[in-house]
């Protein structure tokens, strides 16, 4: 794995852990942070929800496919190299 790929994987993992701990600490639905769908950064098999002809999470076939996405805290996606915010019109949420 190249250094850039290692850095991207570490960044995604850190962001995922930060999002998970923020969610766990939230006392109620109103305290949860806003999220956005971030495409183009997902590892194969690590996507959230359906896209690209499949209906289930974890079915991305290749790394960094533009239509495969994960939820991240709002404003995070644009900070990740290769990340693209996908709005509700671009992708159906299951």
Residue 8, in any domain of the structure:
yes
Tokens of 33: 């942070």
Residue 94, in any domain of the structure:
no
Tokens of 17: 């852990």
Residue 21, in any domain of the structure:
yes
> Phi and psi at residue 20, in whole multiples of 5°?
-65, -45
Residue 32, in any domain of the structure:
yes
Residue 41, in any domain of the structure:
yes
Residue 47, in any domain of the structure:
yes
* Residue of 2, 89, 93, 87 lying closest to 39 (CA atoms): 87
Domain assignment of residue 58, given as a range: 3-86
One digit per residue, the tens of pLDDT, for the chain of length 94 reads: 567 787 778 788 777 776 666 555 555 556 778 999 998 998 988 888 766 667 777 778 888 888 888 999 999 999 999 999 998 654 443 3
Residue 93, in any domain of the structure:
no
Determine which helix (DSSP H) or strand (DSSP E) holds 16, and give its type and residue range.
helix 3-25
Residue 18, in any domain of the structure:
yes
Starting at the earlier edge strand, list the strands of the sheet with 84-86.
69-73, 35-39, 84-86
Count of domains observed in the chain:
1
Reported pTM: 0.55
């Amino acid at each position: 794995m190249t250094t850039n790929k290692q850095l991207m994987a570490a960044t995604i993992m850190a962001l995922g852990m930060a999002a998970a701990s923020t969610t766990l600490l939230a006392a109620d639905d109103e305290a949860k942070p806003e999220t956005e769908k971030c495409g183009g950064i997902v590892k194969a098999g690590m996507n959230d929800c359906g896209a690209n002809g499949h209906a289930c999470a974890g079915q991305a076939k290749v790394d960094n496919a533009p239509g495969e996405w994960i939820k991240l805290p709002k404003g995070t996606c644009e900070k990740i190299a290769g990340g693209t915010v996908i709005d509700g019109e671009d992708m159906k949420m299951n």
